[in-house]
Copies of this chain bind each other. A is one copy, B any other.
């Protein structure tokens, strides 16, 4: 029996996508091969990667002057690739909205003067700082659009002023945990990256969308060939063997998104789920959301009990996670930095999962009233 999987990633995939993958496993469309067996340079695999890229371009309205890359190494590798490839004058602006932006900032500091221009650390990252415009002599500015651990999300995209070269400062964003959860104006960004294991595909492929003018011949000295964007733009993600199966799975997931209304359809679906859950939390006298209302993520929803005694609260959380698991609601433990619980409601999570979760929560609370 399938469980409801609230994992922050890798996470739930659409059931019909898994069924298609199983049905096509041994022989993809009469090719006599599994997708996992195909030479990446064969005419059998070519339409598969092309289909995935076409779907991404269509669903995200990616302008022609952007390259789409299928890389490896996760967002963590992008934390280094971004400064290594985008460094010019030697300064970059980072907004610190929690664990992942902190990691991006720390990695960037190896390569240039990375400045924390705003932070929400004062309130344990429970809100998005009011940054409307980023100005200064920066090579680029970096934000984490959705914060998987903290459960916050930027509701606006900051403007950027003119950089040293007279052009707008390129805006870079980690969109791992919100990609295609709602429409996004790609043209406002110079570079977007996302680990696939939340809304796109199984873990093992990293999506990069980069404006072509940012692809440089001159990354910093010592940048490994595999960490230069140019290596991959010049070879259409085929400089070496790409993660073919993961790219195929991404195509299947994107087809499912398209069939379900695209980014707008996902937004409607995700708002329904998140609103249902936030409403429940806000009305509850047992649970609550620690995140400010105007900064709340549609994807990742941390929640706590109102128990004030730290020891009792920790015990309660443990009981919650363990009993939820027995009820078929898995991966609800919160991140240790936030505590409590967290429900990730990615695109593929069905609204029935939220109803089941709320029913369980209600029962758990009543038994302790």
Contact = CB atoms under 8 A, between A and B. Distances in A.
Q: How many copies does the complex hold?
A: 2
A86 to B, nearest CB: 14
Interface string A9-41: 111110100110111011100011110111110
Given A222-B110, A222-B220, A225-B79, A8 B39 contact: yes
A347 interface: no
Interface residues of A, number: 68
Contacts of A8: 39
Contact of A80 (B26, B226, B239): B226
A270 interface: no
Majority DSSP secondary structure for residues of A touching B: loop
Interface string A51-64: 00000000000000
Contacts of A11: 37, 39
A225 B80 contact: yes
Nearest to A1: B32
Interface string A93-110: 000000000000001001
Most chain B beta carbons < 10 A, residue from A39, A40, A205, A328 = A39
Contact of A10 (B15, B27, B73, B244): B244
A4 B241 CA distance: 21
A40 B195 CA distance: 14
7 contacts: A13-B34, A42-B330, A72-B73, A76-B226, A79-B224, A224-B224, A243-B243
